[in-house]
Amino acid sequence: MAKERKFFGTDGVRDLANSGNMTPEFALRLGRAFIRFTHGKKIVIGCDTRLSGRMLEGALYSGMSSEGAEVHLAGIIPTPGVSYAVKALNADGGAVISASHNPAEYNGIKFLGADGCKLSDDEEADVEEFLSRDERNTSQNIGRVYDAPGLVKDYALHIASLLNPEAAMNNVAFDCAGGASAMSVPVLVGATKFSQLSTKIISQDFDGLNINKDCGVMHMDNLTSYVAKNGMSLGFAFDGDADRVLVSDDKGRIIDGDIILWVLGRWLKKRSGNDKVAVTVMSNMALEAHFADEGIKTLRCPVGDRYVLETMRESGAGLGGEQSGHIIASEFTSTGDGLCTAMLFLNAVHDLGENVSTLVDRFGRYPQRLTNLTLTRPRESVDMDSVNAIAAEYQNKITNGRIFIRTSGTEPLLRILVEAPELETVEELSSELSARLKEFC
């Protein structure tokens, strides 16, 4: 049975910056607790472009160095860049200061182990145990803190090395979401055949307040309209810490994580023979049907890339991911990596002879409706037994479809997913469920 966590959600500790669980004081205590948990001697810290990032960075490394840890500050770098740096430096762990896809007023802290992977639920619970003690090292063994801006370039060059030069395409756009990829994409483009082609980088500028604002994966119309209007072949959009990616085809239509997995799953089976893919309960049922046709086994798991990784490890799957664009290909990365996924997608399209323009049409997804109800109470106090009972009642009304309801681990929301072959059924049940479940919010 998993240990109970109080502060950590599905993607680290997250809150409004400078309040609640995201104050400098709390970050300092988190830094201390992490070192006491890992006994780490060398740690890498990275952050995205949020205004509050440097404030929390100073507090976090102060807590770590007060416990004797040697801290390397990578600066603005994608979450997977920190994962790469942890392994490249043979460090004992890493920390990322980011609220990922959330608006600029939020921030968060997530920890990585020596393997570059996010901590498990139980490991985060163990960190919380050290946090509750709030002990500190009173010796004079103070750790050194180093600025390590070169880690960003090292990571970007590593990603560039993954791209088959023959797979580079003309007229590709990158939407950096005013986030961490703004520092990495230019290096990536300059180190590949993209630099000789008509590549465009948009939403690259950042001011600490515009991360994810009207751009990136949370606002795909920024990229899709740009691609369609400017005659681009395709485009890649990232979120604030670039662990997610979504794609726009040349018509300005969204190629989501399910379609990306469909392409990569077939490519990896052809490449290595691995015929298992881990996906979350949110993935469209059409993906499972396509994989069945290709002799690929679909493995379902809870929402969250850490659960995807756990399922991959347990099953031996070489690929896993989420509809939202978190993709993990274990041969290449230890965590969700938007830039890596983009390069692998291009390789797969080339090797499979895929026509990107027709992927959306051929995928033929089941109609889905995801409705978010705002919670006015702590998510732990939501009566999920009653909610699930109502969901089961409506599930019986669908012949070939499903209903899935959960509380968000990163936002105060109750998420309601309805999926069925007929759009009318989806819309009707979504509306009825939303009306009935408001009383639990």
- Does 33 share its domain with 131? yes
Boundaries of domain holding 395 = 368-440
- Residue 3 domain-assigned? no
- Residue 330 domain-assigned? yes
List, for residues 317-338, the tens digit of each pLDDT value: 999 999 999 999 999 999 999 9
CATH number at residue 20: 3.40.120.10
- Residue 6 domain-assigned? no
- Does 17 share its domain with 76? yes
Catalytic residues: 100
- Residue 326 domain-assigned? yes
The answer on pLDDT for 2 being more than 70 is no
- Residue 378 domain-assigned? yes
Which CA distances in Å does 418 have to 95, 103, 136, 224, 283?
36, 26, 49, 26, 12
Q: Which of 73-77, 105-109, 294-298, 436-440 has the lowest mean pLDDT?
A: 436-440
Could you say which of 332, 363, 394 is where a domain stops?
Answer: 363
- Does 227 share its domain with 262? no
Average pLDDT over residues 271-290: 93
Q: Which of 88-102, 183-197, 203-217 has the lowest mean pLDDT?
A: 183-197
Q: Is 0.75 topped by the overall pTM?
A: yes
Beta-bridge partner residues of 159? none
- Does 164 share its domain with 137? no
CATH number at residue 405: 3.30.310.50
- Does 348 share its domain with 406? no
Q: Encoding tokens for residue 389?
A: 């009972």
Average pLDDT over residues 359-385: 91
Instruction: Give residue 304's pLDDT.
Output: 85
- Does 285 share its domain with 350? yes
Rounded to the nearest integer, the mean pLDDT of the chain is 94
Instruction: Give residue 1's pLDDT.
Output: 58
- Residue 317 domain-assigned? yes
Q: How far apart are CA 21 and CA 33, in angstroms?
A: 14
Total domains in the chain come to 4
- Residue 97 domain-assigned? yes
Could you say which of 148, 171, 201 is where a domain stops?
Answer: 148
- Does 54 share its domain with 128? yes
- Does 157 share its domain with 142? no
- Does 135 share its domain with 18? yes
Give the count of beta carbons closer than 10 Å to the beta carbon of residue 42: 18
CB-based burial of residue 25 (10 Å sphere; 0-12 exposed, 13-18 middle, 19+ buried)? exposed
By the 8 A CB rule, do 77 and 180 touch? Answer: yes
- Does 134 share its domain with 31? yes
- Does 103 share its domain with 161? no
List, in order, residues 6 or more apart from 293 with CB less than 8 Å away: none
The answer on pLDDT for 262 being more than 90 is yes
- Residue 7 domain-assigned? no
Instruction: Give residue 305's pLDDT.
Output: 85
Instruction: Give residue 151's pLDDT.
Output: 98
- Does 388 share its domain with 288? no
Could you say which of 252, 279, 296 is where a domain stops?
Answer: 252
